[in-house]
Amino acid sequence: MSFFITLEGIEGSGKTTQIGFLADWLRQEGHEVVLTREPGGCPIADNVRAILLDPANSAMTSGTELLLYAAARAQHVAEVIRPALQRGALVLCDRFTDATVAYQGYARGLDRALIDSLNEVAAADCRPDLTLLLDLPVENGLDRALERIAATTGDREDRFERESLAFHNRVREGYLALSRQAPRRFRVIPADALAEDVATHLRQAVSAFLQEGGS
């Protein structure tokens, strides 16, 4: 049986590290796992990602940003996510539609109905069965993110890290609001802890979800 599991969280919440740990564990448990991310996940969407995250594009309007995310998602779903689910794989995705609601809706202030409509067009029938929200104070997450960026030798995808503290607090508040709106789908995992402890909590949440048949 295929399942679509997403990891969400503010900048520096550890999603990329933790989703890799989770994928390795699930493969050891015998699952076919497709590990992917947004924006990106396939060549066309990766090209859009480069535009979205490039700090040189500081003049990008909120509307342009929203439409680019939708375009990247439509390609990603068609090329990667839907085919994987149709063949029975377990898909792990670093960010999905909830990120658009949190960032472009709660933080940018764009119309929620418009965002939901675009997400419906881009994602169609691909909706997460389980969403793992890594939550921690914004200041802690940004400190981690900036340390990571400082150690980066290639292109710096830090357009969002340059946003104000108030912006990032709105993102976090948006995620927590979404978790309250969909408590059956969300699991909120404290991320301000040792990576090993966070990984254990994630495995426990996913194991319980799978044992219950995805309910």
Q: How many domains is the chain built from?
A: 1
Question: What pTM did the predictor assign?
Answer: 0.92
| Res 15: pLDDT | 94
Q: DSSP alpha helices (H): ranges in the chain?
A: 15-28, 43-53, 62-76, 82-86, 97-100, 112-123, 138-150, 165-181, 195-211
Q: Tens digit of pLDDT for each residue in 12-59?
A: 899 999 999 999 999 999 999 999 999 999 999 999 999 999 999 999
| Res 149: pLDDT | 65
| Res 137: pLDDT | 94
CB 110 within 8 A of CB 62: yes
> Which pLDDT band, with edges at 50, 70 and 90, does 150 fall under?
low
What CATH number does residue 178 fall under?
Answer: 3.40.50.300
> What percent of the chain is predicted at pLDDT more than 70?
94
The closest of 7, 6, 9 to 175, measured between CA atoms, is 9
Its domain, for residue 116, covers 3-211
| Res 214: pLDDT | 66
- Residue range 169-179: average pLDDT? 97
> Which pLDDT band, with edges at 50, 70 and 90, does 157 fall under?
low
Residue-by-residue DSSP string for 119-164: HHHHHTT---SEEEEEE--HHHHHHHHHHHHHT--S----TTTTS-
> Which pLDDT band, with edges at 50, 70 and 90, does 143 fall under?
confident
CA-to-CA distance for 34 and 12, rounded, in angstroms? 23
> Which pLDDT band, with edges at 50, 70 and 90, does 159 fall under?
confident
The pairs formed by 166-169 with CB atoms below 8 angstroms and a separation of 24 or more are: 167/107, 168/10, 168/11, 168/107, 168/138, 168/141, 168/142, 169/138
| Res 108: pLDDT | 97
